[in-house]
Structure 1
Amino acid sequence: MKKRAWIVFFDESGVSLLPEVRRTYGPRGRTPVLRHRLNWKRASMAAALGYHATDPGRGPRLCFHLKPGSYNTTSLIEVLEQVKTFYAGEPVILVWDGLSAHWSRGMRAWAADQDWLTLERLPAYAPELNPVELLWSAIKTRELANLAGDHLADVADATERGIHRVYSNEQLPWSFLTHTGLTIHPKPPQN
């Protein structure tokens, strides 16, 4: 039986004021130099990338959250409340990793009361199966590459530009799923 639900991959990542150092171009003989303040201020970002299980025409949906500091069970529940609103209460199968906050007593108790949500766990040590990991890579190698911001707001603005770039390209979220080797809508067998 096919379940008419969104299959949503979820993941968190961290960013800081320390630049993501990447290769770049510079004039011949002059090595580019990144100048930044040594500042350990950190922010965390979470993304929920969803694909409809039975209707590929509905297209992927991307829900994004950014906050100073790190996520815990309470803050993740707040993010999932936003995901519920984002998906308008439609059934969601949430696929995420084994982070302790994902499977804490508080999270399991909260999830048990949610009729719209089913939690599934990715296999241990298999980040390559989560398309959101490719989202982080796309943003960190472009918008956040060599960014030496003075404030977390600079990093947040660059991250949001990256999210908008990815979401405005209809094929990019699908390519993340394809790269994992997973399929949501298998092709019908040919005769």
Structure 2
Amino acid sequence: MAALDAWLVFEDEAGFSMTPPTTRIWSRRGHTPVIRVRGRSRRRLSVAALACYKSGEPSRLIYRPCPDARPDGRKSFSWKDYRDLIQTAHQQLGGPIVLVWDNLNTHLTAGMRRYIADRDWLTVFQLPPYAPDLNPVEGIWSVLRRTTTANRAFADPDDLITAVRRGLRQLQYRPGVLDGCLTGTRLRRQPP
């Protein structure tokens, strides 16, 4: 990457539902906390995120949410959504990108392959199948689920979207956490 003066960018997507993940909490002995939820909702929020690293630059996080209530009825990202996200990253980062992502079928479509081939500033590598431990964005999802969305009953889908965006925005201002997610993959040595 240093020879190319390129950003190393990892991509991953995750889904968040109205039913919150539960984590440990403290309470008085014999008084188990109870969160009442009005009803189960099948509403989900999909989010794609890019963790961006470059020597001498602070780590960056770029993300895009995709609520399941879209005009075309699609509940997940299309290849055009990924194209737009990569284009946004290129504009924000201002340099060539080496993109590392999984083997999601949307990443492998003919339209996406054409888009990648037509961009001399974009180089793409596929992660091996079933290798989430090599993707630092998985660590970002873990942090988000343990902090922002943990033990929280969402009032409606807009509340879920607001909470996830707030959590991701907070992570954008904490490059040390993003560096820690990369260090957790053991792809980069931790600084002395």
Give the alignment's TM-score, normalised by structure 2: 0.88
Partner residue in 1 for 2:86: 80
Shift of 1:15: 0.6
- The aligned residue for residue 65 of structure 1 is 64
Query: 5 Å matches for 1:104-143?
Result: 104-143=109-148
1:49 correspondence with 2:54: no
**Which residue of structure 2 aligns with residue 148 of structure 1?**
153
- The aligned amino acid for 1:63 is I
Structure 1 stretches lacking a partner, 5+ long = none
Q: Contact 1:51/1:184 (CA < 8 Å) preserved in 2?
A: no
**Aligned twin of 1:162:** 167
In the alignment, which residue of structure 1 is the partner of 2:5? Answer: 4
Percentage of matched positions with identical amino acids: 36
The answer on whether the counterparts of 2:183 and 2:189 sit within 8 Å (CA) in structure 1 is no
User: Number of paired residues?
Assistant: 183
Write the distance in 1 (CA, Å) between the matches of 2:31 and 2:43. Answer: 30
Q: Name the TM-score, length of structure 1 as normaliser.
A: 0.88
Confirm or deny that 1:180 pairs with 2:185. Answer: yes
Which residue number in structure 2 is paired with residue 20 of structure 1? 21
| Partner Cα distance (1:184, 1:9) in 2 | 17
1:184: how far off? Answer: 7.8
Q: CA deviation at 1:149?
A: 0.8
2:40 corresponds in structure 1 to 38
The structural deviation recorded for 1:26 is 2.0
Kindly report the root-mean-square deviation, in angstroms, between the aligned alpha carbons of the 2 structures: 1.9
- Give the letter for the 1:50 counterpart: C
Residue 63 of structure 2 aligns to which amino acid in structure 1? F
- Specify the SS of the correspondent of 1:57: coil
